[in-house]
Amino acid sequence: MPWVAQQQLASRILLRAILASRTGLSPQALQFSYGDKGKPALVNHPGLQFNLSHSGHWLLLASCDSDHMQLGADIERLRPKTDIDSIMRHYFAGAELAQLQALGSDDRRQAFFDLWALKESFIKATGLGLAQDLRSFGFELDKRTSMTRADFPELESCLAPYGELDGAEWQSWLGRLDDEYRFALTLHKEGVGECCWQRHFSELADWLPG
């Protein structure tokens, strides 16, 4: 089976399995709808927000039980051959570009993929995807707050985006699975109240039929 087809199959299996366990519905009973830019939602359980991302052999599913939240998740693999300088100039806000250009080449590449994961998680949370101008908002890595949580040991820091936001409360988290893979989660709080959220990491092969 081609690699892309394997990813798509494993993603669908993981998504239905985890959402079924969260909702109490069978995997076959889950019904999905899609926003204008393709963001999925559950028709028969709209209070559960979720977002799926995959990179290389890893899949990430984040979900939260709340009808007043928007959630975005992204996992990125550090790619040593990616032309990050061209991408930085076209898609990064001015302050992001300045902080990256101030770093040495190795640190710049690490920080680039950290920022890219954060930005991807943000536009997935808004539901706009790449229709949103990636230069209209940004993150300042030097203002992130370190964190240690026993229930989320992979998370390393939290920070808030800046730029042309909608005035609602946004919060993002950045973490590492290892030296190669990093991930980001972004939550948009539309009202008062708490939410219970979780994330699930799996290796791609674990969700493919034997």
CA angle 124, 126, 130 (to 5 degrees): 55
Of 53-57, 77-81, 163-167, 191-195, minimum mean pLDDT range: 191-195
pLDDT digits (tens, 9 = 90+) for 102-143: 999 999 999 999 999 999 999 998 888 877 899 999 999 999
In sequence order, the 6+-apart residues with CB closer than 8 A to the CB of 40 are: 32, 33, 34, 50, 52
Mean pLDDT of 59-78: 84
pLDDT of residue 203: 60
pLDDT of residue 13: 84
In the chain, the N- to C-terminal Cα span, in Å, equals 12
Calpha distance 155→184 (Å, rounded):
9
Residue with the larger pLDDT of the pair 179 and 75: 75
pLDDT digits (tens, 9 = 90+) for 132-145: 899 999 999 999 99
Banded model confidence at residue 192, pLDDT cuts 50, 70, 90: very low
Calpha distance 5→114 (Å, rounded):
27
Tokens 């240690």 map to which residue?
A: 148
pLDDT of residue 122: 93
CATH architecture of 3-207: Alpha-Beta Complex (3.90)
pLDDT digits (tens, 9 = 90+) for 156-173: 888 989 987 765 688 899
Residue 204's closest CA among 2, 9, 57, 5?
57
Residue 116, amino acid: W
Give me the sign of the Cα torsion angle 199, 205, 208, 209: negative
Banded model confidence at residue 29, pLDDT cuts 50, 70, 90: very high
What does pTM read for this prediction?
0.86
